[in-house]
Amino acid sequence: MSEETASRVCLSQRAHWAAEQAISFLMAQGVENRDVISLAAGLVDEQTLPVALCRDLLNELLSDDRTARGALQYGTTPGAEALRSEVLKHLARLEGGIVDDLGVAADQVVLSTGSQQLLTSLADVLLDPGDICLVSAPTYFVFLGVLNGVGARTVAIPSDDQGMRIDLLADELERIAARGELNRVKLIYVVSDFENPSGISLSAARRQQVVDLAKRWSTEQRIFVLEDAAYRELRYEGEPLPSVWSFDQDRDTVILAQTFSKSFSPGVRVGFGVLPRELVAPVCNRKGNEDFGSAHLNQQLLNLALKSGRYQQHVQQVCQGYRSKRDAFLAALATEFRDLPEVHWVHPKGGLYVWMTLPDAVATGFNSTLFQSAVKEHKVMFVPGELGYPSTRNEDVVCRNQMRLSFGVQPVDGLQEGARRLAAAVRQQLR
Amino acid sequence: MSEETASRVCLSQRAHWAAEQAISFLMAQGVENRDVISLAAGLVDEQTLPVALCRDLLNELLSDDRTARGALQYGTTPGAEALRSEVLKHLARLEGGIVDDLGVAADQVVLSTGSQQLLTSLADVLLDPGDICLVSAPTYFVFLGVLNGVGARTVAIPSDDQGMRIDLLADELERIAARGELNRVKLIYVVSDFENPSGISLSAARRQQVVDLAKRWSTEQRIFVLEDAAYRELRYEGEPLPSVWSFDQDRDTVILAQTFSKSFSPGVRVGFGVLPRELVAPVCNRKGNEDFGSAHLNQQLLNLALKSGRYQQHVQQVCQGYRSKRDAFLAALATEFRDLPEVHWVHPKGGLYVWMTLPDAVATGFNSTLFQSAVKEHKVMFVPGELGYPSTRNEDVVCRNQMRLSFGVQPVDGLQEGARRLAAAVRQQLR
């Protein structure tokens, strides 16, 4: 069969829904413009990576014949029991309590390939095409792609400096109920700490409220809250907040997803979820088909890191490193944008991103003059803020004049030069 | 909200389709009956695992600061470019040629979490609910679960000692076309070497024929062939066969899925697919949502193993080990079953399984007297052969008197004792 006569490739509906994720375009831009300073990439700072620590721990793991052979063998679908127990201890430390008070057992912990796989699994086991997931706007754009991929309807709830506007969430649920579609609402997605892209955390009061609202409206079926706490451990100032999950006394409504990618190493790619009991089997059934278990060696590595206390030491160093980079970047922005008072940005207390807002008229999308001139002429790249908004019927929610700026990857001089170039590109649009 | 008033959990259609995989029951049996000799588990032999090799390679990888930081950072969705290039060299060696003759580029290689994730991705991007996938009977039961999970219709094609009966495949396609459903046929799944569970390989002539048939019937849309070559490198006698993929001159019809789990380490969990060009983007889009890349560290480990030639040396040792275990197991079966001439089994030239057939009347399923007495009384476990058959309208295809016996995990004395116990359990049913 020659090229000319090759038959048509017929993809599934799902494949069409998953097509054309913005991330691919963004990565291609990065590859094609290697001389740009990327403030776009969501990678971690390579200087924070635990090179010596991993070498030591892997040596330890692979020097004992029994543990070595165990680690190199298949694990189980939910993941290594030892690590799932360590995860509970870890969680107890983060919540400021003890394991016995958590109200969950290790068999409610599922280990995944990053927390991303956990997020996707939840979308898959909960959402049929046309089902509704409520998200704050803006939010993590890869999860918006996941929701598209399962054919869900995504409803954007505006946010402010305390995260998702719970009053507007309540209004929206009211409206959905009024039009008889409450039975299609399956999920509320919240990035609780230092949201990607906005850097904003959901306030403690709202954490309680979102749980209460989900329970109150769970009249036809359970409405779950999926808490994505990927950046939780990257806090550079202020007191840690209890998770949204901790406000769910019954442990039947909130799914907590976390990862060791940001705090330890994304190349090791271990994340986890803490699930309401009824979701454990569905998520494991799905994962049984998907890969019947993420890499077991990596789970044993994390287990050793946590058990030895060296993980916790490492996270402190990581936070110190990012704190100084954040401070340097914020200082550079203040300097470079001092003549542009119409531009403002969020001071993030953690995470990896600075969220910048331009005057309404200045669009930041891939096809905008600003994006094109930033990449081609000024050699600096950012993530257009509109990626963080779902395609939605309430168009007025979407802002097209924002940017996500990452201080994760670039060293301090790169951040300073990046701020200078970005200011020049923006100035060109404004003056 | 108390337990009594908790609202109903409403799962997606997909979650219902993925529920109740037999593997969970099987694993639970193993856990609950720890004194049984398991001839069921599909794990690899721990003695074959490359402990010292992984320790050395990881030390090497993590001792150079640049390669270390690269390996611990995020990879890309399709996986590390270096490993994808090594995979092509590896494939060329297996096909007995050079990379230039393969007719594919490294960007058609996608790395996955085991080959399982690749299989699932293909099912996901090709099959809508109700679409048809043709499989040989019996076949790899986890993939049958995957097909159920996407709501596909699985049509079983009987096999003989040369694998899937291509004449019956042709008949089935004819029948499907006659009833106007050819547009629903998207995939033909074949485990080409030492099929799990039967241990049988598809003959060279049939490899060509399955490709030809797929192309001939691709009149409405492309019918792809998914070749699962997971056991390809575990050959203990006879000459290697060229892959089904190699017969697809146009490289537009066959997807080749392989893994390093069996030949190297399942705990490292690296598999790969070689894809027709049109499927690269759909599979990567799907993987972008799923995990945006399997563990990068593990990919770099495999890359080093292949590049250094130490992988190839290791595979030779692995095959030597399994060869003697297979021989010991076959000898033990011949001895223990010598008074039961009505029982016969396949002599596998590779892989990890011996496929045993009992007289028609002796059922082997989970609820059968044999299975129950084997596990409870004789303390030996096997995989019921019926798991390898899809729920099908043509019930006569399904055999209920077969067993998959693995010689992968047990040491030689375990295999001998297992054969003795199994013969006792079978004898009890027959006499």
Give B415→chain A minimum CA distance, Å. Answer: 19
Interface of A with B in 130-159 (CB under 8 A): 131, 142, 145-146, 149-150
For B96-144, the pLDDT digits (tens) are: 999 999 999 999 999 999 999 999 999 999 999 999 999 999 999 999 9
CA-based nearest residue to B228, from B322, B140, B348, B306: B140
Interface of A with B in 243-272 (CB under 8 A): 250, 252-253, 261, 265-269
Using a 10 angstrom Cβ sphere, with 0-12 exposed, 13-18 middle and 19 or more buried, the burial of residue A155 is buried
CB contact under 8 A, A298 and B297: yes
> For B325-383, how does the pLDDT look when each residue is reduced to its tens digit (9 = 90+)?
999 999 999 999 999 999 999 999 999 999 999 999 999 999 999 999 999 999 999 99
In total, the C-beta contacts within 8 angstroms joining chain A to chain B are 310
> Using CA atoms, how far apart are residues B311 and B297, in angstroms rounded to an integer?
16
Which two structure tokens, joined as six digits, stand for A12?
Answer: 């599934």
Instruction: Decide: A323 and A349 in contact? Cβ < 8 Å.
Output: no
User: Chain A residues with CB inside 8 Å of B253's CB?
Assistant: 1
CB A378 within 8 A of CB A422: yes
CB contact under 8 A, B6 and A46: no
Is the pLDDT at B3 greater than 60? The verdict is: no
What is the distance between the alpha carbons of residues A292 and B43, in angstroms, rounded to a whole number? Answer: 12
CA atoms of A169 and B182, how far apart (whole Å): 47
- Are the Cβ atoms of A222 and B7 closer than 8 angstroms? yes
Task: Record the tokens describing residue A347, joined without a space.
Answer: 């001071």
Is residue B186 less than 8 Å (CB to CB) from chain A?
Answer: yes
- The alpha carbon of residue B286 and the mean position of all alpha carbons in its chain are separated, in whole angstroms, by 21
B259 DSSP β-pair partners: B271
- Any long-range contacts for B389-398 (C-beta under 8 Å, 24+ apart)? B389/B137, B389/B138, B389/B144, B389/B156, B390/B135, B390/B137, B390/B144, B390/B147, B390/B154, B390/B155, B390/B156, B391/B154, B392/B137, B392/B154, B392/B155, B392/B156, B394/B156, B397/B137, B397/B156, B397/B158, B398/B137, B398/B156
B277 part of contact set with chain A, CB < 8 Å: no
CA distances to A35, A40, A384, B183, B362 from A24, in Å? 19, 13, 14, 31, 55
Closest Cβ–Cβ partner in B62, B70, B222 for A7:
B222
Query: Which bin fits A223, alpha (ψ -120 to 50), beta or left (φ > 0)?
Result: beta
Measured in angstroms, the CA of A287 and the nearest CA of chain B are apart by 9
Q: Do A293 and B58 touch (CB under 8 A)?
A: no
> B126–A186: do the CB atoms touch at under 8 Å?
no
C-beta atoms of B12 and A261 within 8 A: no
C-alpha triplet B258, B263, B265: angle, nearest 5°: 100
* B14, B285, B286: residue with CB nearest A125: B14
Segments in B50-178 forming alpha helices (H): 51-63, 65-72, 81-95, 114-126, 141-149, 166-178
Name chain A contacts of B284, Cβ cutoff 8 Å.
Answer: 24
Which percentage of chain B shows pLDDT scores above 70?
96
Find the helix or strand (DSSP H, E) in which A52 lies. Answer: helix A51-63
Q: Which residue bears the tokens 């393969």?
A: B102
Are B291 and A221 a contacting pair at CB < 8 A? no
- CB of B410 closer than 8 Å to CB of B69: no
List the 203-222 stretch of B: residues with Cβ below 8 A of A.
215, 218-222
- Calculate ∠ Cα A206-A210-A211, nearest 5°: 120
Calculate ∠ Cα A260-A418-A410, nearest 5°. Answer: 30
> In the predicted model, what is the mean pLDDT of residues B5-16?
89
Cβ of A278 under 8 Å from any chain B Cβ?
A: yes
- DSSP per residue over A378-418, as a string? S-EE-EEGGGGS---S-GGG--SSEEEEE-SSS-HHHHHHH
Q: Hey, which residues 156-185 in chain B have their CB within 8 Å of chain A?
A: 183
How far away is chain B from the Cα of A261, in angstroms, using its nearest Cα?
8
Q: Is B63 on the interface with A (CB under 8 A)?
A: yes
CA distance A86 to chain B (A): 19
A96, burial (CB in 10 Å: exposed 0-12, middle 13-18, buried 19+): exposed
Check A289 against B15: CB less than 8 A apart: no
Asked if B226 and B188 count as a contact pair (C-beta separation under 8 A), the reply is yes
B278 part of contact set with chain A, CB < 8 Å: yes
Kindly calculate the radius of gyration of chain A based on its CA atoms and give it in whole angstroms. 22
A288 touches chain B (CB under 8 A): yes
Smallest Cβ–Cβ distance between A73 and the set B11, B20, B43 belongs to B43
Beta strands at A109-113 and A270-274: parallel, antiparallel or unpaired: antiparallel
Would you call A334 exposed, middle or buried from its count of C-beta atoms within 10 A (0-12, 13-18, 19+)?
A: exposed
Mind listing the pLDDT tens digit for each residue in B385-421?
Answer: 999 999 866 677 889 999 999 999 999 999 999 999 9
pLDDT digits (tens, 9 = 90+) for B205-231: 999 999 999 999 999 999 999 999 999
Could you tell me which residues come within 8 angstroms of residue A143 by beta carbon, excluding any fewer than 6 positions away?
A119, A123, A135, A189, A228
A145, A200, A158: which is closest to A391 by C-alpha?
A145
Domains (ranges, CATH) in chain A? 12-49+313-430 (3.90.1150.10), 51-308 (3.40.640.10)
CB-based contact B50 A72, cutoff 8 Å? yes
Residues from chain A contacting residue B114 (CB–CB below 8 Å) = 291-292
Rounded to a whole number of angstroms, the distance from the CA of B320 to the nearest CA of chain A is 19
pLDDT in tens, chain A (431 residues): 444 456 899 999 999 999 866 666 777 776 677 789 999 988 889 999 999 999 999 999 999 999 999 999 999 999 999 999 999 999 999 999 999 999 999 999 999 999 999 999 999 999 999 999 999 999 999 999 999 999 999 999 999 999 999 999 999 999 999 999 999 999 999 999 999 999 999 999 999 999 999 999 999 999 999 999 999 999 999 999 999 999 999 999 999 999 999 999 999 999 999 999 999 999 999 999 999 999 999 999 999 999 999 999 999 999 999 999 999 999 999 999 999 999 999 999 999 999 999 999 999 999 999 999 999 999 999 999 999 999 866 677 889 999 999 999 999 999 999 999 999 999 999 98
Q: Give the CA diameter of chain A.
A: 68
Phi–psi pair at A274, nearest 5 degrees:
-110, 120
pLDDT at B265: 96
Mutate to test the interface with B, among A55, A290, A318, A387 (most CBs of B within 10 A): A290
Q: Which helix (H) or strand (E) holds B226?
A: strand B224-228
> Tens digit of pLDDT for each residue in B150-187?
999 999 999 999 999 999 999 999 999 999 999 999 99
| Residue A384: cis peptide before it, omega within 30 degrees of 0 | no
**Cβ neighbours, 10 Å, residue B289:** 28
How large is the angle between the packed helices B51-63 and A51-63, nearest 10 degrees?
170
CA atoms within 13 A on the CB side of A387: 26
* Number of neighbours of residue A151 by Cβ within 10 angstroms: 16
Please name the residue of chain B whose CA is at the shortest distance from the CA of residue A10.
Answer: B221
CA distance B322 to B316: 10
Contact criterion met (CB < 8 Å) for B222 and A289: no
User: Cα–Cα distance between B135 and B142 in angstroms, integer?
Assistant: 12
Q: Do A11 and B125 touch (CB under 8 A)?
A: yes
Residue B59 has its nearest CB partner, among A19, A59, A131, at A59
- CA-to-CA distance for B187 and B224, rounded, in angstroms? 5
Separation of alpha carbons A417 and A421, rounded Å:
6
pLDDT confidence of B1, banded at 50, 70, 90? very low
Q: Does B306 touch chain A (CB under 8 A)?
A: no
> For residue B388, what pLDDT is reported?
94
Q: What is the dihedral of CA A235, A237, A239, A245, to 10 degrees?
A: -30
φ and ψ at residue A148, rounded to 5 degrees: -60, -40
Q: Which helix or strand (DSSP H or E) is residue B154 part of?
A: strand B153-160
**pLDDT value at residue A198:** 97
3-state secondary structure of B278: helix
State the pLDDT at residue A127: 98
- Tell me the C-alpha distance between A180 and A178, whole Å: 5
AA identity, residue A75: G
Question: Pick from B120, B268, B285: which is nearest to A289 by CB?
Answer: B120
- For B73, the token pair is 């950072």
Chain-centroid distance of CA B360 in Å reads 27
- Mutation target to probe the A interface, by most A beta carbons within 10 A, among B9, B21, B251, B294 is B9
A113 → chain B, closest CA residue: B291
Chain A, 16 to 45: residues with Cβ < 8 Å from chain B are 18-21, 23-24, 27, 43-44
Q: Among all residues of chain A, which has the CA nearest to that of B216?
A: A1
Distances (CA, A) of B165 to B147, B156, B210, B348, B358: 21, 10, 10, 18, 22
Closest CA to B382 of B399, B366, B359, B397: B366
Q: How far is A102 from chain B (nearest CA, A)?
A: 17
Q: Give the pLDDT confidence score for residue A397 in this predicted structure.
A: 80
| Chain A closest-CA separation from residue B161 CA (Å) | 28
Interface test with chain B among A255, A265, A285, by most B beta carbons within 10 Å: A285
Contacts of B51 in chain A (CB under 8 A): 62, 65, 68-69, 72
Beta bridge partner(s), residue B353: B406
Contact criterion met (CB below 8 Å) for B224 and B186: yes
A167 contact partners, CB below 8 Å, separation of at least 6: none
Contacts 24+ apart (CB under 8 A), A95-104: A95/A242, A95/A243, A95/A246, A96/A240, A96/A242, A103/A249, A103/A251, A104/A251, A104/A274
Q: Note the pLDDT of residue A342.
A: 97
Using CA atoms, how far apart are residues A83 and A394, in angstroms rounded to an integer? 43
Q: Inform me whether the C-beta atom of residue A62 falls under 8 Å from chain B C-beta atoms.
A: yes
Residues in chain A closer than 8 A to B290 (CB atoms): 113, 116-117, 120, 290
Name which of B431, B371, B380 is nearest B401 in CA terms: B371
